């Protein structure tokens, strides 16, 4: 494995240099990013959506932030359907959360500092880019397509996006 470090200058006109431990990485032609909390800070949007979901369903405990932190690594459908011994499925928590998340106010998601510059530098280097996420790859909610990468202005980030529907 080659460690890749991006050195990002202070201004928009600065050049992003991609270096490994011994200079430019050799043999790397594809980079795949995780989405949540890797290229984008999504925790505020997820906590806000869970807070609204729990409020609408009358769930008082645990609080939304604790629940979101506790379910990391567990598919959202599993954690919400199994919430409170299966009561989450009866309450429709998954659909309520999806509606709250996809109808969130703009500005709750943001690309981490330096991500857009890193993406452009990798693309200029000829590197193929992809995204791997536990979210749906192609998501339509209430009849409209939703896409968090597009919302961040990184719609051209990835040639390939792998979502939960692509894996077992």
Q: For residue 128, what are the β-bridge partners?
A: 30
Same domain, 51 and 35: no
Q: Would residue 113 count as lying in a domain?
A: no
Q: What is the pLDDT of residues 94-139, one digit of tens each?
A: 989 988 988 877 778 888 888 888 888 888 888 888 888 777 666 6
Q: Would residue 10 count as lying in a domain?
A: yes
Same domain, 64 and 98: yes
Q: CA-CA distance, 151 to 96, in Å (whole number)?
A: 21
Report whether pLDDT(65) > 70.
yes
Q: Would residue 146 count as lying in a domain?
A: yes
Which DSSP symbol is given to 29?
A: -
Going by DSSP bridges, is the β-strand pair 128-132/30-34 parallel, antiparallel, or unpaired?
parallel
Q: Would residue 52 count as lying in a domain?
A: yes
Same domain, 89 and 127: no
Same domain, 78 and 52: yes
Same domain, 122 and 158: yes
Going by DSSP bridges, is the β-strand pair 128-132/160-162 parallel, antiparallel, or unpaired?
parallel
Same domain, 34 and 54: no
CB atoms within 10 A of CB 99: 17
Give the dihedral sign, CA 164/138/46/55.
negative
Same domain, 53 and 95: yes
Go through the chain and tell me how many residues it has.
Answer: 168
DSSP-derived secondary structure for 36-65:
BTTTEE-HHHHHHHHHHHHHHHT--SS-HH
Q: Would residue 137 count as lying in a domain?
A: yes
Q: Would residue 110 count as lying in a domain?
A: no
- Give the total number of structural domains in the chain: 2
CB atoms within 10 A of CB 92: 15
Same domain, 94 and 56: yes
User: Which structural domain, as residue segments, surrounds residue 143?
Assistant: 5-41+118-166
Q: Would residue 132 count as lying in a domain?
A: yes
Q: Cis bond leading into 139, ω under 30°?
A: no
Q: What is the pLDDT of residues 2-31, one digit of tens each?
A: 334 444 444 444 444 555 566 555 677 888
Q: Would residue 35 count as lying in a domain?
A: yes
Same domain, 52 and 96: yes
Q: CA-CA distance, 73 to 85, in Å (whole number)?
A: 19
Same domain, 32 and 64: no
Question: Is this structure's pTM higher than 0.85?
Answer: no
Higher pLDDT, 61 or 149: 61
């Amino acid at each position: 494995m080659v460690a890749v470090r991006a050195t990002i200058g202070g201004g928009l006109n600065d050049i992003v240099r991609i270096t490994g431990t011994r200079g430019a990485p050799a043999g790397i032609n594809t980079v795949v990013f995780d989405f949540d909390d890797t290229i984008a800070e999504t925790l505020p949007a997820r906590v806000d959506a869970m807070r609204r979901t729990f409020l609408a369903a009358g769930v008082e405990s645990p609080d939304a932030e604790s629940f979101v932190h506790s379910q990391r690594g567990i598919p959202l459908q599993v954690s919400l359907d199994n919430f409170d011994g299966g009561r989450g499925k009866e309450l429709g928590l998954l659909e309520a959360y999806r509606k709250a998340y996809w109808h969130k106010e703009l500005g709750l998601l943001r690309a981490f500092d330096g991500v857009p510059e890193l993406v452009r530098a990798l693309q200029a280097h000829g590197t193929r880019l992809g995204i791997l996420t536990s979210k749906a790859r192609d998501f339509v909610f209430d009849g409209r397509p939703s896409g968090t990468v597009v919302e961040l202005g990184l719609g051209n980030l990835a040639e390939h996006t792998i979502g939960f529907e692509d894996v077992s």
